[in-house]
Amino acid sequence: MENELKAIAAMLKPEMIDFCQRLILVPSLPGEEKGVADLYLSEMKKLGYSDVFRDEWGNVVGIINGDLPGPSIMFNGHLDHVDTGDLSEWEGYDPYGGKIDVCGMFNQDMNGTEDAEVIHGRAASDVKGGGATMVYAGAALIALKKQGYKLAGRLIFTMTVLEEPAEMLGMLKLFDETFPQRGISPDVCISCEATSLKLYLGHRGRVEIQVTVSGVTSHGSAPWLGVNAVNSATKFIDKVEQVVEKEKSTDPELGKSSIALTVISCTPGSMCIVPDRCHITYDRRFTPDETVESCIKQIERVIDEISAEDKNFRAEVKIGAVMRTSYTGKSELMENKKEAWKLEKEHAVAKACAKGLAEAGQEVKFGYWDFGTDLPVAAVHHKIPSIGYSPMQEYYCHRPVDKVRIDYMEKALLGYVHIYNNLSKLSKEEFKL
């Protein structure tokens, strides 16, 4: 099959690159993904996917049915991207231009640079470069089928809405509503989030923690008549830092748990008035042996300990939540949280993916994301083994130098097909976590 696959990949390359450029031309900020969703749907229909549809939340799904029984292998990415930021930082490139040229790029291990042909533009590295490559890996599987090769199982290509806001709304609705309605049950999930052609096996969890410290207002000329909420908050802030550092959990691959105070404000916030409320927002990162609940309980314990020492100290804690609305008009209040997860290198899925990359002539390397993804929905909520593989590079994500290497896209197309073929040989038992 290898010679045929390389010939197919060479034939599909110009179309894949053109598709990536067309994706970049269409802005797709969170909640405004319709245009790029339409583009994915029309491209998959053109390429001959067995079934193509959009769900009620705006997620895009394309299915390629195999000829033989086998697992359902889910390829996944997201439709939205972050804002372009200050256009003067883009070094003269149009963030929605999709221009191709040659420039210096980091190598796979970020320890050197080399000239490479790239596609420039917002989301080239997060995740339109990977999404285009996955779609055309599907096209390569279709082409192999037409040449008489039997495909086992089925490919489920998915692109979700509202990934960038970080509450995982699109992925949650895909698994909790769309898949059950459609009778879809993935056995494994492969993400195209940036990995530099490595196999990524996990990331830390995240929860947005909001704390309100309460006091009592008084005139600024007589502060002793009130309880200054900001002053009360300072002892809380110091203790939180101390407790999280002392009790931090460390994972050998994912790193240590952490907490960062990201937003602080007070009310009424006026001259001559002692503030009666101090509002604090934390970004809490945690490892797989911690949970969202344990992170909240840790903060509650700090509050209880300070309250026992200071009768004037009062505070409440909750998970940050925000109303999110899809471009289809559907809305839901979402808590800002996602679990930590990790797939072991010895798991059958990791081994099958590694074997696929080796067969594609690529050196097998493993890694872990610094940022979060939608994968906790699959890996934690639904106990589905998950892994990342992508031509995109983390360094260029969310930056005004957003770009994707075309040579990495070529390699990833072959990598995705080989990964699919090796995963399709696994038994149901081997997919269990």
Domain carrying residue 275? 205-323
Q: Give the pLDDT score at 115.
A: 98
User: Which of 195, 181, 93, 82 shows the shortest CA–CA distance to 134?
Assistant: 195
Q: Are residues 229 and 308 located together in one domain of the fold? A: yes
What's the CA gap between 432 and 79, in Å, rounded?
Answer: 29
CATH number for the domain that contains residue 259: 3.30.70.360
Q: Are residues 75 and 164 located together in one domain of the fold? A: yes
Residue 121 within any structural domain of the chain: yes
Instruction: Assess whether pLDDT exceeds 90 at residue 363.
Output: yes
Q: Give the pLDDT score at 65.
A: 97
Q: Are residues 14 and 148 located together in one domain of the fold? A: yes
Q: Are residues 356 and 319 located together in one domain of the fold? A: no
Tokens of residue 61, six digits: 């799904």
Residue 329 within any structural domain of the chain: no
pLDDT tens digits along 402-421: 999 999 999 999 999 999 99
Full DSSP string of 374-415: STHIIIIIS---EEE--SS-GGGTTSTT-EEEHHHHHHHHHH
Q: Are residues 197 and 213 located together in one domain of the fold? A: no
269-282 mean pLDDT: 95
Q: Give the pLDDT score at 17.
A: 98
What's the CA gap between 300 and 290, in Å, rounded?
Answer: 15
Last residue of a domain, one of 296, 323, 350: 323
302-307: long-range pairs with CB below 8 Å, 24+: 302/236, 302/239, 302/240, 302/243, 303/211, 303/236, 305/239, 306/235, 306/236, 306/239
Mean pLDDT, the chain, whole residue set: 97
pLDDT tens digits along 153-171: 999 999 999 999 999 999 9
Whole-angstrom CA distances from 24 to 61, 75, 170 are 19, 20, 21
Peptide bond into 275 cis (omega under 30): no
Residue 56 within any structural domain of the chain: yes
272-297 mean pLDDT: 97
321 pairs with which residues across the strands? 335
Residue 138 within any structural domain of the chain: yes
Last residue of a domain, one of 323, 353, 373: 323
Q: Give the pLDDT score at 156.
A: 98
| Core vs surface per residue 391-411: b (16+ CB within 10 A) or e | bbbbebbbebbbbbbbebbbb
Residue 174 within any structural domain of the chain: yes
Q: Are residues 107 and 49 located together in one domain of the fold? A: yes
Contacts of 348 (CB under 8 A, 6+ apart): 385, 426, 430, 431
Cα four-point dihedral sign 261, 263, 266, 272: positive
Percentage above 70 pLDDT, the chain: 100
Instruction: Assess whether pLDDT exceeds 90 at residue 354.
Output: yes
CATH number for the domain that contains residue 414: 3.40.630.10
Q: Are residues 289 and 350 located together in one domain of the fold? A: no
How many domains are contained in the chain? 2
Q: Are the C-beta atoms of residues 249 and 284 closer than 8 Å to each other?
A: no
What's the CA gap between 101 and 406, in Å, rounded?
Answer: 10
Q: Give the pLDDT score at 1.
A: 82
Q: Are residues 125 and 113 located together in one domain of the fold? A: yes
Report field, pTM of the whole predicted structure over 0.85: yes
Q: Are residues 93 and 121 located together in one domain of the fold? A: yes
What is the amino acid identity at position 125?
A: S
71-81 mean pLDDT: 98
What is the amino acid identity at position 179?
A: F
DSSP 8-state secondary structure symbol assigned to residue 296: H
107-135 mean pLDDT: 98
Q: Give the pLDDT score at 358.
A: 98
Q: Give the pLDDT score at 27.
A: 98
Residue 332 within any structural domain of the chain: no
Residue 334 within any structural domain of the chain: no
Instruction: Assess whether pLDDT exceeds 90 at residue 360.
Output: yes
266-272 mean pLDDT: 93
Q: Give the pLDDT score at 289.
A: 94
Q: Are residues 169 and 216 located together in one domain of the fold? A: no
Q: Are residues 131 and 186 located together in one domain of the fold? A: yes
Last residue of a domain, one of 281, 297, 323: 323
What's the CA gap between 346 and 354, in Å, rounded?
Answer: 10
Q: Are residues 250 and 172 located together in one domain of the fold? A: no
Instruction: Assess whether pLDDT exceeds 90 at residue 198.
Output: yes
Q: Give the pLDDT score at 236.
A: 97
Residue 234 within any structural domain of the chain: yes
Kind plus residue range of the DSSP H or E element containing 104:
strand 100-106
